[in-house]
Amino acid sequence: MFAAMPTPVNDPSHGFCRDCLTFQRGAGLRCSACGSPRLARHPELYSLHIAHIDCDAFYAAVEKRDNPELKDKPVIIGGGKRGVVSTACYIARIHGVRSAMPMFKALEACPEAVVIKPDMEKYVRVGREVRAMMQALTPLVEPLSIDEAFLDLSGTERLHGRPPALVLARFSQAVEKEIGITVSAGLAYCKFLAKIASDFRKPRGFSIIGQAEAVGFLAEQPVTMIWGVGKAFAATLEQDGIRMISQLQHMERGELMRRYGTMGDRLYRLARGQDDRRVVPDHDAKSVSAETTFDTDLASAADLVPVLRALSEKVSARLKKAGIAGRTVVLKLKTHDFKLRTRNRQLTDPTRLADRIFQTGLQLLEKETDGTKYRLLGIGVSDLSDAQRADPPDLVDLQARKRAMAEGAIDALRDKFGKKAVETGYTFGKGRNAHPPEDMER
């Protein structure tokens, strides 16, 4: 069907139907072939090539796919009574449920919601399937998280026999058909605007921001739309009377840089729709970590240590799977009043052993178990390198090699008989806290 098509041209009245992919001429509101209202039309439709793709309510969508009974019910993915909302489906969102909202609040807003504990492994698996489909379109896929990525589709027109806009529309259809979840896509000439675009008409969205309209479009947006402007920086700008991007568009680069340093330069450029960041395929991970929010606040070492052990083992398992190791151990705690404490310690050599991560984390934790109640505990390693030089033999610690070998044996048993086939005394029989649900992991 596509082979017979004429080369598409940029014409404001030209476009295509996102459902049947038929070309449209004229200004009709519905597809001339199938009658669908989902038409893509844009003066620059066929000259843009940077895309951002974001799965819609990803975790919830996967759960709905796997259990059709949930289809018309509000679904919230999140951990325990005390956890937070990881993802809310669009029905739950109508009731005011938002991600990162504490679960009790979410349930106040939407008492009939079905709450599902996250099954990270499943989401990672589905996320990988989606990513593989992206990589079939272009090698330049830059994942931002498990369910979103930038794609640079420039130069792929001949390969696919159609321009990026159509490739993208077909991709969205294919994901729906083959994987059973929906995505939203944004198409623009730079990453900054592509990301904004994909967020524009979720779910099943397809938005385009062209070069000609960029400045006018941005003028009407708040400064928080700019990548890098968080709560704190927005407050600083607000103090200076800057709330809308249009205000930035009227300021000089020098003035902005004087006030806000390098961030000023970024404000200047992004406000004008100038973003020359390239799509970089492999962003290496900077750290590997695991964390959990408790059902009730914990303060004692007796309660915290088993959790630390379980999380250390999880981090270690991931390092081993990825063939990497980390040299700095980072402990993360969140107090009952939401204050974050991170403590880190550098080792002389990279490690990937659960025991080493745990023992180092334990020393850091000991100093923090001062009666403070914690709602969250996390452990991780950063300063990553390949596993080649991890955990070298030690002159002094003659037990180190034995412990490493014991850990290897435990790993092998777990591979064969499941995660709980072998447990240390730290976690054995310690119940839910020592086997935290896999919520809010990064």
Partner 1 sequence: MRVILERSNLLKSLNHVHRVVERRNTIPILSNVLLHADGASLEMKATDLDLEVNEATAANVEQAGATTVPAHLLYDIVRKLPDGAEVMLKTDEDGNAMSVISGRSSFRLQCLPQSDFPELSAGQFTHNFRLESAAVKTLIEKTQFAISTEETRYYLNGIFLHTLEVGGKLKLRSVATDGHRLARAEMDAPAGSEGMPGIIIPRKTVSELQKLVDDPDVPVTTELSDTKIRFTIGSVVLTSKLIDGTFPDYQRVIPTGNDKQLIIDRESFARAVDRVSTISSERGRAVKLSISDGQVTLAVNNPDSGSATEEIAADYSSDPIEIGFNAKYLLDVAAQLSGSEAKFMLADAGSPTLIHDTADEHALYVLMPMRV
Binding site for partner 1 (CB under 8 A): 345-349, 359-360, 363, 388-389, 392-398
Q: Which is nearer to partner 1, 350 or 437 (CB)?
A: 350
CB nearer to partner 1: give 216 or 392. 392
Cβ-based nearer residue to partner 1, 228 or 392: 392
| Backbone torsions φ then ψ of 298, nearest 5 degrees | -120, 145
Nearer to partner 1, 24 or 312 (CB): 312
The CA distance from 158 to 95, in Å, is 46
Least Cβ distance, residue 378 to partner 1 (angstroms): 19
Known binding residue 147? Answer is: yes
Angle subtended at Cα 80 by Cα 74 and Cα 81, rounded to the nearest 5 degrees: 85
Using the minimum distance from each CB to partner 1, give the nearer residue, 4 or 395: 395
Q: Which residues of 132-151 are buried (b: 16+ CB within 10 A; e: fewer)?
A: ebbeebbebbbbeebbbbbb
- Catalytic residue, chosen from 44, 142, 148, 291, is 148
Q: Tokens in use for 360?
A: 């180092």
Which residue reads 């295509």 in tokens?
A: 16
Smallest gap from residue 360 Cβ to partner 1 (A): 6
Smallest distance from partner 1 to CB 142, Å = 21
Q: Residue 136 corresponds to which amino acid? A: A
- For the bound state, the minimum distance from the C-beta of residue 387 to partner 1, rounded and expressed in Å, comes to 11
Question: Tokens 């130069």 belong to which residue?
Answer: 155
Flag whether 54 is marked binding. yes
CA distance 311 to 360: 13
Compare residues 3 and 398 and give the one whose CB is closer to partner 1. 398
Measure the CA–CA gap between 234 and 353, rounded to whole angstroms: 42
Strands 75-78 and 206-208, by their bridges, are unpaired
SS3 142: strand
Edge-to-edge, what's the strand order for the sheet holding 287-298? 287-298, 374-386, 324-335, 340-351
Q: In what order do the strands lie in the sheet with 114-116?
A: 85-88, 75-78, 114-116
Interacting residues of 287 by C-beta distance below 8 A, sequence separation 6+? 326, 330, 380, 381, 382, 384
Q: How far is the CB of 322 from partner 1 (least distance, A)?
A: 18
Q: Could you give phi then psi for residue 57, rounded to 5 degrees?
A: 40, 55
Name the maximum alpha-carbon separation found in the chain: 80
- Catalytic residue status for 108: no
- Nearest distance, CB of residue 397 and partner 1, angstroms: 6
Indicate which residues carry an active-site annotation.
148
Binding site for Mg(2+), by residue number, is 54, 147
